[in-house]
Amino acid sequence: MWFMRQAGRSLPEYHRARGDTALLEAVARPDLVTELTLQPVRRYGVDAAVLFSDIVVPLAAIDFGVDIVAGTGPVIERPFAGRADLDRLRPPDAEELAHVSAAVRLLVAELDVPLIGFAGAPFTLASYAVEGGPSRHHSRTKAMMLGEPGLWLDLTERLADVAIASLRAQVAAGAGAVQLFDSWAGCLSPDHYRRFAAPASRRVLAAVAELGVPAIHFGVGAGELLEDMAVGADVVGIDWRVPLDAARSRLGPDVAVQGNLDPAACLAPWEKVAAEARSVLAANAGRPGHIFNLGHGVLPETDPAILQRLVDLVHRDGHAVEP
């Protein structure tokens, strides 16, 4: 078990270590990334570390003009608007990813558990690039996707190259697994997902398979897309909207699942959190291939003491049943 966003704003030691360092500045400092990544492993005894980073880091590395604004998220100075902008997108080279590789190497030397690296999936990165920031309706993205499908597919292929370069660097430096985050995929119909998002994501997953590490593929609100997202993935991350037994029956026995406690449930009193966590375990029914996690990232207002009890509960009760 581990928690998406286990490192970060819910931990007092995170605020002490990061202070007012801007996020992209923090990510550029391997010593700080190492400390922030280790904090939740030390505190909770989770079974994996996840690199402290952001999905736009490789875009920042190639000077695409991205900033991360507190309270807003990634903001792109000059959004992707047409074919001329394709030239601004290329895979980052080893030097441009040196800070990432250095952090991963430091971490792997320190850790007794695997380090999970990650990248943003092409669709989600494309939405940030086109909208210029987080978007509620992804209107421009979808208008481009439908209206200029050739340009759109070129864009997602460039972003697949960006993701592949980033994941290769992380695995080469010692990451033992990767997660491909398609945070916004759930805004697509299955038909649009298959035509406009899946091709580039599958190329990323195939590149990960060649590296010999397992790939977790995760989207939010992506219940209708699970079968499509499973193609080429070892693990599918499930948000809390789909009960694990339903996810299992859609995906079959050959794919592992990750999830799926509602992060907001962790804000309730402990007995309620415990009941919710036991429901997740019961829905999985002891099937092997379950990584316990939340259905999305830890909310900043979460009490770390609750997450600690959750780790203890799952470590005590969350065993696979021998078939």
Residue whose CB is less far from its own copies, 51 or 236: 236
By CB under 8 A, residue 316 contacts its own copies: no
Give the integer Cα–Cα distance in Å for 185 and 120: 11
Catalytic annotation present for 63: no
Catalytic annotation present for 88: no
Give the integer Cα–Cα distance in Å for 322 and 87: 53
Contact region for its own copies (CB under 8 A) — 40-48, 75-83, 171-179, 261-269? 261-269
Helix axes 149-172, 139-147, angle to 10 degrees: 110
- Catalytic member of 20, 29, 42, 54: 54
| Torsion on CA atoms 287, 293, 296, 299, rounded to nearest 10 | 150
What is the enclosing helix (H) or strand (E) of 291? strand 290-294
The partner residues of 292 in beta bridges, in order of sequence, read 259
Residue whose CB is less far from its own copies, 107 or 188: 188
By CB under 8 A, residue 269 contacts its own copies: yes
By CB under 8 A, residue 245 contacts its own copies: no
Give the integer Cα–Cα distance in Å for 179 and 170: 11
Q: Is 10 helix (H, G, I), strand (E, B) or coil?
A: coil
Buried b (16+ CB within 10 A) or exposed e, 168-186: bbbbebbbbbbbbbbbbbb
By CB under 8 A, residue 138 contacts its own copies: yes
Q: Which of 85, 264, 274, 309 contacts its own copies by CB under 8 A? A: 264
Distances (CA, A) of 112 to 49, 55, 70, 109, 127: 9, 25, 32, 9, 36
Least gap, CB of 240 to its own copies (angstroms): 5
| Region 144-183 residues binding its own copies, contact defined as CB under 8 A | 146-147
Identify whether 284 is preceded by a cis peptide bond (ω within 30 of 0): no
The gap between the terminal CA atoms of the chain, to the nearest Å, is: 21
Least gap, CB of 194 to its own copies (angstroms): 11
Catalytic annotation present for 67: no
Contact region for its own copies (CB under 8 A) — 10-18, 39-47, 156-164, 258-266? 258-266
Q: Are strands 73-76 and 115-120 parallel, antiparallel or unpaired?
A: unpaired
Q: Which of 65, 79, 221, 289 contacts its own copies by CB under 8 A? A: 221
Least gap, CB of 190 to its own copies (angstroms): 6
Mask 276-295, x = binds its own copies (CB under 8 A)? Answer: x--x----------------
Catalytic annotation present for 5: yes
Q: Which of 1, 51, 97, 242 contacts its own copies by CB under 8 A? A: 242
Q: Which of 29, 43, 105, 192 contacts its own copies by CB under 8 A? A: 192
Contact region for its own copies (CB under 8 A) — 20-28, 93-101, 143-151, 153-161? 143-151
By CB under 8 A, residue 71 contacts its own copies: no
φ, ψ for residue 237, nearest 5 deg: -80, 130
The partner residues of 180 in beta bridges, in order of sequence, read 119, 217
By CB under 8 A, residue 9 contacts its own copies: no
Least gap, CB of 153 to its own copies (angstroms): 15
Distances (CA, A) of 217 to 41, 255, 317: 22, 11, 25
Q: Which of 237, 263, 304, 318 contacts its own copies by CB under 8 A? A: 263
The residues of the shown chain that bind its own copies, judged by CB under 8 A, are 137-143, 146-147, 186-192, 221, 223-224, 240-243, 246, 262-265, 267-269, 272, 276, 279, 299, 301
Q: Which residues are catalytic?
A: 5, 9, 18, 54, 128
